[in-house]
Amino acid sequence: MLVKPRSILKRFSFLLVFAMASLTLQAAPIGLVWEMPSTLTVFLIAGVLLILFLLLTVGNSLLQVRAKELGVLHFANYSVLPNQKEMGLGNGDREGVIRIRKGHTIKLKGVSEHRIEEVQVTRFAVQPTNVHGISPIPKLEVAVGDIVKAGDPLFHDKNLERIKFVSPVSGEVVEIRRGAKRAVTHVIILADKKQEYRSLTPPDLGKIDREALVEFLASSGVWPLIRQRPFNVLADLNTIPRDIFISTFDTAPLAPDNNLVVEGQEIAFQSGLDVLAKLTSGKVHLGLNAGDAGASDVFRNARGVEKHWFKGIHPAGNVGVQIHHIHPIRPGDKVWTLGVQDVIAIGALFTEKRFNGSRTVPCVELKSKLRGICAHRWAQVSRI
């Protein structure tokens, strides 16, 4: 049973090492020590220190394994080994920062510019094959020639009729492509110049129960944005997740800067967090960047969530790595994950009363001067 926090154990172990070393030197006859060959003396001292180090290392590993088995949050904070800060060396880190040392940052030339440009795209393709966990032949709710608004249902899984996959834009359905065994691969929409949106009536979060909220999210088109782990599949409507995890930064090469993405979306982001808090019996965990880029004030000031700071090389921004260090998934556990823009889309249902399918993605400048395409996590929107 764990009864002492990391700080007490580390201070105790650190003092114990110095005390044992001091008693060993005092107990030995001074003359004998100095009469011994210098090489043998060095080996004896090195051997004692090596044994002590191995004992502390093994004890530290066993303590963290036991803490992990007991489901202790921040199990890495249970340790018998002091860090630089506690030894008085200091490392300048914020208290409670989780450092990721295992990994590799791929060094690619160039960085993304901190600006957002509007891109005009005329054709959009929604791809059911991008969704893990649904049948390859969904039930289509539209046909070629139909006119749809942004947020209108396009198809649903035959086994999950309650979950609707909706159109990100308004326009005309111009083509439905099929692949092997008649599987639907693309639903192509020719977008209108002036977008029209399906009107939604969001419920009052303070009065609605969880079951009714789930039904609203499933019918409005944002449910496919929520992923369930293990296996990163579509979230189960009948499952109450242990926790929900959101990473607010991405350490992958040329990844979008979420600090820039969330600018001007403060209300929608916080609204999305409030919605997610009603879907779990546990906590909504927010992973923040403690590196040089830092975290936006929108993330720092988020309410109703538990914040965790991460620093280090890639994949420090990966939500799976963050789950492992915050509260690992044990057998039988179900947790949900979302991206920052997914949370904003959920919040927009309540702040804008519509399905907002816009996305900010990293862009590559091509010869045609096209600087980007729009994309969805659950339904890729590609330029045809």
Spell out the domain ranges in the chain.
6-91, 123-351
Residue by residue, DSSP assigns 274-333 as HHHHTT-SS-EEEEEE-STT---HHHHT--SSEEEEEEESTTTT-HHHHHHHHSPPPTT-
CA atoms in the 13 A half-sphere facing the CB of 48 = 13
Instruction: Give one DSSP letter per residue of 35-82, joined into a string.
Output: HS-HHHHHHHHHHHHHHHHHHHHHHHHHHHHHHHHTT-TTGGG--SS-
Q: What confidence score (pLDDT) does residue 109 get? A: 75
Q: Which amino acid is present at 346?
A: I
Quick check: pTM over 0.85?
no
Secondary structure tally for the chain: helices H, strands E: 9, 14
Residue 63 has phi, psi (to 5 degrees) of -65, -45
Cα gap 163→223, rounded to integer Å? 7
The DSSP element (H or E) to which 125 belongs, if any, is strand 123-126
Query: 57 CB contacts (<8 Å, ≥6 apart)?
Result: 81
Q: Which residue has the tokens 């496919």?
A: 224
Contact indicator for 191, 98 with CB cutoff of 8 Å = no
In this prediction, the residues of the chain whose per-residue pLDDT falls under 70 are 1-38, 42, 68-95, 110-112, 363-384
Amino acid at 247: S
